[in-house]
Amino acid sequence: MILKFKRCLDIEGVIQAPPSKSYTHRAIILASLAEGESLLFNPLISEDTLATLSACSTLGAKITNFSDYIEVEGVGGKVSPNFEPLIAGVEREPIIDLANSGTSLRLLTSVAALGNNKVIFTGDESLKTRPMANLLNALSDLGVKTESDNGKAPITVYPGFTGGNTSISGDVSSQFISSILISAPLSEKGVDLEVLPEFVSKPYVDMTIDLMNKFSVNVESCENIKHDSCSKDYKSCTVSNFKVEPQMYEGCEYTVEGDYSSCSYLLAACCIFGGEITILNLFKDSKQGDRIILDILSKMGADITCDDSSVTIKSDGNLNAIDTIDLSDAPDLLITVAVLASLAKGRTKIIGIGHTRFKETDRISTTCEELRKCGCELEEFEDYIIINGQTMDRNKEIILSSHKDHRLAMGLILLNLKGYNVSIEDGDVFNVSFPNFIELMKEIGINLKLEYEV
């Protein structure tokens, strides 16, 4: 379907932030591993989190989805995959289809190794391009045997998470680190994990540890300067060390906070067009790396006010470029920030984004490709982009592609707020992470619509 812009007269209102996708994934998994019952309030119910819900159910948890909350009876650390035959007498392959959810794949690969039967994880064509070799290699040191298609899905995970010592590079995905940490307390020996530089998206690991603590598991962590030789021949580097002793998760009640990633589109829309909105359930002390969007919008000219659990933004619609923006810890902001930079007065360099080439798409390549269609003057490099703002052509209608990437669809549609005429092919892909995107945009005054392709 094609996502189109209809109109926007004013941007104003008070709205509730959509729930955090990252926290929802983690909460479902930890509740499923825990001993006893958990109640998860305000979860995000989207295509990605439904993949995690379904997978955790197959791995043995008893889950009831009530939409506004989820009730989970955990497995008490004893993962027991259930692949009952669909037809009596016909053996069923132990396959779990995770669709497009890379987070599910990365976090659950370690979890499956805690079970008593092999599990095969697969998904759509995009999921099968995600590199997993770093995680699989690190898990092999912990007693986990896997088979894969050259380090990519389909991935077969065999039982046997013994634990012990391992190391992993932190330059591809922080979700690999989170995956090992989540399963570590349920291993026989516990885990000592060394993460070598560069450690990208570290706030997501902080988020994982924060949630593990809420489910009664402790993680010890520290950073050390290592001057002798280490993996990848680093001669002097900062390494992060995590130690997790054998422990049991305990069920609890947990409320999912608002998602700064999803709210970036709402906040950016106000900054681009001008107006004032307040978003509730966004916490000042949140561990989400994407909270940096507030600093970015403030430097571009918006007036940002925060209290403990809400954010108010005011803007006159005039955007100033920022010389350099580092998104090392907030990769999901790339497209939002690139769109803002393309509309701002001046030149912006976006750095620390090399790891975004391994997302749903190669986001550096696809973002630059679509902005170039609009006439944007930019330079693309391996791990950064330089964008010259206010260089695009407003005089023609342009159909852009989401490349079936939810963040491209939601980010690129914002160009219309500065008078451009763009529509987005495969625009309904926002359902992956933000199913009520159109409804919340309408609440602040922006009317979008979906049309079937002719």
The catalytic site residues sit at: 332
* Cα angle, residue 449 at apex, residues 448 and 453 outer, rounded to 5°: 140
Give all strands of the β-sheet with 155-157 in edge-to-edge order: 95-97, 119-122, 155-157, 146-148
CB half-sphere exposure, 410, CA atoms < 13 A: 30
Give alpha helix (H) positions in 163-201: 174-183
Alpha carbons 433 and 442: distance in angstroms, whole number: 18
Residues whose CB falls within 8 Å of the CB of residue 76, separated by 6 or more in sequence, listed in order: 34, 35, 36, 248
Q: Residue 226 pairs with which residues in a beta bridge?
A: 237
Alpha carbons 4 and 393: distance in angstroms, whole number: 18
Give alpha helix (H) positions in 128-259: 133-140, 174-183, 202-214
Give all strands of the β-sheet with 164-169 in edge-to-edge order: 164-169, 191-196, 237-244, 220-226
- DSSP designation for 142: T
Residues whose CB falls within 8 Å of the CB of residue 156, separated by 6 or more in sequence, listed in order: 118, 119, 120, 146, 147, 148
Question: Regarding beta strands 446-451 and 2-8, do their DSSP bridges make them parallel or antiparallel, or are they unpaired?
Answer: antiparallel
Alpha carbons 422 and 396: distance in angstroms, whole number: 9
Sign of CA dihedral 284, 286, 362, 233: positive
For the record, the structure tokens of 131 come out as 């590199």
Alpha carbons 350 and 364: distance in angstroms, whole number: 10
Rounding to the nearest 10 degrees, give the CA dihedral for residues 56, 61, 67, 68: -120
Alpha carbons 106 and 172: distance in angstroms, whole number: 12
Alpha carbons 155 and 178: distance in angstroms, whole number: 18
